[in-house]
Structure 1
């Protein structure tokens, strides 16, 4: 179980720790304590190996298709963190002997993993171990490791095998050719491997620095090379009181790295360059590099994203820092060809693919906190336009039909065909989202709209944004089907956000988002025609505009039923039978309903996997549809209560939307309860919840729930609105966002909203329906709620 009490003094509420070692529950700490910098993600497996471990190193964007019947995925790169340790010739393992004062902790402030314990061997020999590790924030290619051992009782012989191990796979799937490996200048290791289909070169380098009692060991190590592996073996005799240190510096470069674009690519050059780089890093050593790494995190993360909460529950502050840490570790801010996977870079699940999770749940943090990174992530989607157009053509449509799962921008649809077991038939279930979950195209258009309103980035819109919106609108115009009986266009045979309802007609979320997409394209076409006629002619949307206008006007938009204002999730949802969902609402593990029902049966009852209609209300109020009669405050409350009772939150991205909605309708205590549940998805006591990787959308949702929910920050048609409603347990919250290129600092209590601007331009803000002009600072008394 995780322990949050280890951080003291300057590190209070900065440390996640594990106080007891369990070889049966390794995945939890491996995931939540992962190290990353957006380029690489390193799962925090222990140095010594265990049967149930998952050792992962992923390099963002290096997708490979292992076979024709497989989809492209991020390959698990060579392992450099494993150490085979022997004490007096016997394999070291915490499963043998006795350990005391065990602690494995991630210091979020320093972005450093530290593990320590006192171990007594089966023969009664006592040793103090300490391991530390970081993934450099500035030099994206560098991983640093350090092992320290102190002999406390009897003399021992310490032996270590350490190197680069390319005998890795993705759940048994091999993505690499054999490659080249060598030992240079006696102590530098280099291993090169190439992916089987995408032909991406990986060059791994490693060097060791050894000391006994602070004096560097100059003797030679035993050198070994085997199939897919190169390593060194070290041996040292330690007397009581002696200390041993081993620093290991590792770099990994690939032929797909962005900085390779500046010059003609040569594998030999990459090998020589990366080796020369590591030689310079060796001169600095672990401690100097670690200190530089800590300073980089402080300057570029914690100083940039200050977020303080005074709460009766101190883990609220830790949860927000946990969110900021992982959002930073997962974001490829350095390369606009890369996206963010549903598990970030922390596990093999979802194969490193990007979903709608990015645009709806993760991107808002970057839009309001790091606009340049948000632009990069949206540019990644722009680079996927050719494959989106290709998917549209393959399915008989026009425009851009975005892949449900997107890998490298040109890879096209990357959703697997088959999933888990059908509990009734015993056969594998078909994965339908890649074929019929179409709302992602409108989700991306919404993200462009939100980014443009919050940043005012006209250059992005002219180069990328307008085209993305126009092309997705072309898709929707071609996707609509005419219903002669209704005398309306409709959208049939889809999956909405609620993936427990497959092959439904007129999913409200999908229809309204398509409508929004069409209307947004019309608006942008009018803007471009007026302000940049030459660009308007280039986009060639004059005829398309007429089609968008006609079809949007005739698109079926589900209406709230009378007299309770419930918006039908789809054509049949409200006619389906209810069942007692009590045991599933109390479940400790998600998707337990599939242990009693198969997908076809779930499709025929009123049960919802995740926020769907509730999410629609939240998104629409940020658009020009905010005053639509179907989205009144009364309807918002009615729909929240109705669908919350039927929503199992079997997707980790669901809870934080309901946090925001509950707070908006005055259900403040319940909103905070849902917030705590959302924080516990990865940080909670369930030791199996994060085995497959971090829940990236939920991580982004923690920040969203605090800022958009409790602080009440919202962009609405380009207007910044702030309607704070802090939880009772929160006395104060302070944070920073960017709005129209200006940095705004917020200080909120239950009585006062204070905003400070670092810019010189007046900003119009609204609070509880009253408008204010903010120049340098603004204080607004808050009414009781």
Structure 2
């Protein structure tokens, strides 16, 4: 059972806690209490083993393809968290004996995991346990653990096996060759792994330090090795009220580490340097290392972009911190050749691959909060141009056709071909998204546009951004299909954001975003022809420009219906069979519609998996197309009401967009309800939702719902709009965003908004239809515009 109310004093609304142990519901806390620093993600499994546990350690960017019939994935690295504990010779487990005062919690403020309880053995002996753990935000390669044990009643013989276990798999798939193991100086364990296809070296080191009643001890330690495993065995006698502390420090380095790329790589050198680093950590110990780590979080995260809300529901503040915590833990700020996976680094789900989730649901946070990190994520996509060009060429197109799932930048398309069972035929269903879900190329172009407008980063555009937009525009120009009967270009046989509709024609989102991509390329080409003629010539834009213009002018763009202003999601959606969706709209578990229908049948029903046409309204509103009559305020309202009723939110990407749109049209109660549902995707009471890992896009969506929805912060074709619409549950919202390189502190209530430009440079923005300029600090009354819609 999860509990979010345990934080007191300075830790109020900072703690995620589990207050009852269940061996059948381990995945929730393992995933949502993840420890990470962007370089690595460590799933928060318990120290003692259980049958249903999932021990995962993922190192970003270390993709490997285990077999020819598998796709590349992040390999599950060697485990250092497991401790095999015996009490009087019997295995310690919370499934045995009696447990009291159990609390497992993640302190997000300090980024530390702790677990404590009193345990009475089957023989009646009572011990008090406390475990602590962190993944350092200061030393990217460091994992630190501490176990404290006190005997409360009897003499106890305690035995502990601890070391490095490389007998790990990804759901049974082994990614590593057998590696060398050693124990240096009688204490330092080192184990080397090498991936069997990508030939990436992993070097793991670990060391233990023991104290009994505050004094360092040299306990009896047996040294053991087995296949893919090396460990130490300690035997300690505890008398009543003896207090034992076991510290375990571990490091992991790989041959992919960016600090190795500049010189000549040597495995032996990596082994020596990594071991030397661990010896330095050993001198400092857990507490000193933790203090440096804690300060790094305070300075780089909470002191930089904390979001504070005064709400009648305390969990709202916790949820926003949960979002910031995980967005930080998943961000590979150390290397621009690495992206963010759909499950971040918290589980094997989606194999560590990056989707459009990054650009549309995660990147906006970094653009407005940490532009340098946003630049790194977009540069990752730039490095992926080679794979995108190859995919386009393989499919008979020009330019860059970005992979639906992307791993290492040059890997190209890595989407699996086969997926779940078809309940009607009993056969595996084909995963078509890697073949025909193509809007991701336009989504990446939109992300470049959003980044450039908010940051003004010309250097990035000249180095990467222009080329990405031009290459994706070339793809769309070659992808369009001429329909002679309609004298228009169409886009046929695709999947839009709504993945319940496959092989459809003229998906509104895809067509309009392709149009945006073409027009954006033309705008950038015009800019270069006037300001950077050398780049115009370098890119050879003359012929492409004429092609983009001709294709854009004749591309079919779905229009709102005259009778109700609803834009058809695709050519046939509005003519499909309608059924009573109440059963699925009220579901407690996603995708229950698949219990009654297979994919082909769902394709023929007027039902939507996730935000599709509504997402189009949200994105277009930020661009130079925002004045298009198709996306009027009346059309926005009409489309929201039509598609919200038909959307099951069976994707974690969906709810945040609907929350923002509901806020835009003044549906505040519904907006807040959708925000809460977004938070509950990972934080909710269902103990099974996060077994495969957290939902990275929805975690970005928590922040987006608050800042883009309730605070009304929005890009508007190069301009800044701020139209607050706080829900009635919220009395105040404070946060910081960056605009053109300058931090802006915003503090808003239902009555007024205070905005401060701390760098003192004038910033122009629009609120409620009025344009303001702030160069220091400005307070604006909001009473008059509480009912205003976004225009």
Scaled to the shorter chain, the TM-score interval is over 0.9
Report matched runs for 1:132-147 at 5 Å.
Answer: 132-147=132-147
- Partner of residue 681, structure 1: 681
What secondary structure, in the 3-state scheme, does the structure 2 residue paired with 1:313 have?
Answer: coil
* 8 Å Cα contact 1:419/1:431 also seen in 2: yes
Q: Is the 8 Å Cα contact of residues 219 and 236 (structure 2) preserved in structure 1?
A: no
The answer to whether 1:591 aligns with 2:586 is no
**RMSD across aligned positions (CA):** 0.5
Show the counterpart of 1:57.
Answer: 57
Partner residue, 2:778:
778
Asked if the contact 2:219–2:234 (Cα under 8 Å) also holds between the matched residues in 1, the reply is no
Distance 2:771 2:726 in 1: 21
Q: Is the 8 Å Cα contact of residues 306 and 324 (structure 2) preserved in structure 1?
A: no
Distance 1:383 1:760 in 2: 36
Distance 1:760 1:734 in 2: 19
- Measured in 1, the distance between the counterparts of 2:425 and 2:384 equals 38
Is contact 1:43-1:56 (8 Å) kept?
Answer: yes
Aligned to 2:500: 500
Instruction: Provide the residue aligned with 1:616 in structure 2.
Output: 616
Give the conservation status (yes or no) of the 8 Å contact 2:306–2:321: no
Kindly state the Cα deviation for residue 696 of structure 1 after the two structures are TM-superposed: 0.2
Match of 1:16 in 2: 16
**Alpha-carbon contact 1:213-1:244 (below 8 Å) kept:** yes
Tell me how far 1:262 sits from its aligned partner. 2.5
State whether structure 2 residue 487 is matched by structure 1 residue 487. yes
- The aligned counterpart of 2:714 is 714
Q: What is the CA–CA distance in structure 2 between the aligned matches of 1:523 and 1:5, rounded to whole Å?
A: 51
The yes-or-no answer on 1:42 pairing with 2:42 is yes
Aligned equivalents of 1:471, 1:464: Cα separation in 2: 11
Alpha-carbon distance between aligned partners in 1 of 2:262 and 2:412, rounded to the nearest angstrom: 26
CA contact (8 A) 1:186 1:220 kept: no
Distance between the aligned counterparts of 1:722 and 1:346, measured in 2? 34
* 8 A contact 2:678–2:698 mirrored in 1: yes
Whole-Å separation in 2 of the counterparts to 1:5 and 1:385: 47
* 1:156 Cα offset (Å): 0.3
Consecutive unaligned residues of structure 2, counting only runs of 5 or more, are none
1:95-494 equivalent positions in 2, closer than 5 A: 95-494=95-494
Q: Distance in 2 between matches of 1:676 and 1:192?
A: 45
In structure 2, the partner of 1:88 is: 88
- 2:753 maps to 1:764: no
Deviation, structure 1 residue 302: 0.1
For structure 1, the 5+ residue unaligned runs are none
Displacement of 1:761 in angstroms is 1.8
Please name the residue that 1:519 is paired with. 519
Q: Deviations over 1:522-567 (max 9, x none)?
A: 0000101111111111011111000000000000000111210000
Partner of 2:509: 509
Per-residue CA deviation, residues 127-146 of structure 1 (Å, 9 max, x unaligned), is 00000000000110000000
Q: Please tell me whether the aligned partners of residues 202 and 255 of structure 1 are also in contact (alpha carbons under 8 angstroms).
A: yes
Structure 1's consecutive aligned runs of 4 or more residues displaced over 3 angstroms after TM superposition are: none
> Which whole-Å deviations, capped at 9, do the CAs of 1:164-212 have from their partners, x for residues lacking one?
0000000000000001111011000000010000000000000000111
| Deviation for aligned residue 1:424 | 0.4
Q: CA deviation at 1:219?
A: 4.0
What is the TM-score with the length of structure 1 in the denominator?
1.00
Post-superposition Cα deviations, 1:216-261, rounded to whole Å, max 9, x if no partner, equal: 1124510001100000000100000101110000000000000111
Give the Cα–Cα distance (whole angstroms) in 1 for the partners of residues 166 and 241 of structure 2. Answer: 37
Q: Is the 8 A contact 1:60 1:332 kept in 2?
A: yes
**Correspondence for 1:744:** 744
User: Deviations 1:666-723 (Å, cap 9, x if unpaired)?
Assistant: 1010000111111000000000000000000000000000000000000111100000
TM-score of the superposed pair, with normalisation by structure 2: 0.99
Q: Please give the alpha-carbon distance, in whole angstroms, between the structure 2 residues aligned to 1:220 and 1:236.
A: 8
Is the 1:191–1:203 contact (alpha carbons within 8 Å) kept by the matching residues of 2? yes
- Distance in 1, Cα, partners of 2:380 & 2:125: 55
- CA distance in 2 between counterparts of 1:502 and 1:164 reads 46
Aligned to 1:74: 74
Query: What are the superposed Cα offsets for residues 733-752 of structure 1, whole Å, 9 maximum, x if unpaired?
Result: 00000000000000000010
> Can you list the C-alpha shifts for 1:584-633, whole angstroms capped at 9, x where unaligned?
11111111111110000000000000000000000000011101010000
Q: Give SS of 2:731's match.
A: strand
Instruction: State the partner residue of 2:702.
Output: 702
2: CA distance, partners of 1:280 / 1:773:
52
- The offset of 1:760, in angstroms, is 2.6
Aligned to 1:657: 657
Q: Deviations over 1:624-655 (max 9, x none)?
A: 11010100000000000000000000000100
1:491-543 deviation per Cα after TM superposition (whole angstroms, max 9, x unaligned)? 00000000000000000000000000000000000101111111111011111
Once the two structures are TM-superposed, the CA of residue 360 in structure 1 deviates from its matched residue by 0.1
Once residues 686 and 60 of structure 2 are traced to their aligned partners in structure 1, the CA distance between those partners, rounded to angstroms, is: 28
What's the offset of the Cα at 1:81? Answer: 0.2
Q: Deviations over 1:82-121 (max 9, x none)?
A: 0000000000000000000000000000000000000000
Count of matched residue pairs: 785
How far apart, in 2, do the equivalents of 1:236 and 1:21 lie? Answer: 27
Residue aligned with 1:52, SS: coil
**In structure 2, distance between residues paired with 1:205 and 1:339:** 26
Report the alpha carbon displacement of residue 774 of structure 1 after superposing the two structures with TM.
1.1
The Cα of 1:763 is off from its aligned counterpart by: 1.0
SS in 2 for 1:77: coil
Whether the aligned pair in 2 keeps the contact of 1:337 and 1:383 (CA below 8 Å) is yes
Matched-pair contact (CA < 8 Å) for 2:305–2:735: yes
1:624 and 1:276 map into 2 onto residues whose CA distance is 55
Cα distance in 2, alignment partners of residues 758 and 490 from structure 1: 49
Give the Cα separation in 1 of the matches to 2:257 and 2:194.
14
2-structure distance, mates of 1:476, 1:594: 33
Q: For each residue in 1:339-393, what CA deviation from the matched residue of structure 2 results, as whole angstroms up to 9, or x when unmatched? A: 0000000000100000000000000000000000000000000000011000000
Deviation at 1:432, TM superposition (A): 0.3
Q: Distance in 2 between matches of 1:625 and 1:148?
A: 61
SS class of match (1:637): helix
Structure 2 Cα separation of the partners of residues 349 and 428 of structure 1: 18
User: Which residue number corresponds to residue 691 of structure 2?
Assistant: 691
Partners of 1:291 and 1:379 lie apart in 2 by 33
The CA distance in 2 between the partners of 1:602 and 1:228, in whole Å, is 47
Distance 2:640 2:496 in 1: 17
How far did 1:307 drift? 1.1
Supply the distance in 2 between the matched residues of 1:246 and 1:764 (Cα, whole angstroms).
57
Paired residues of 1:183 and 1:190 also in contact (CA < 8 A): yes
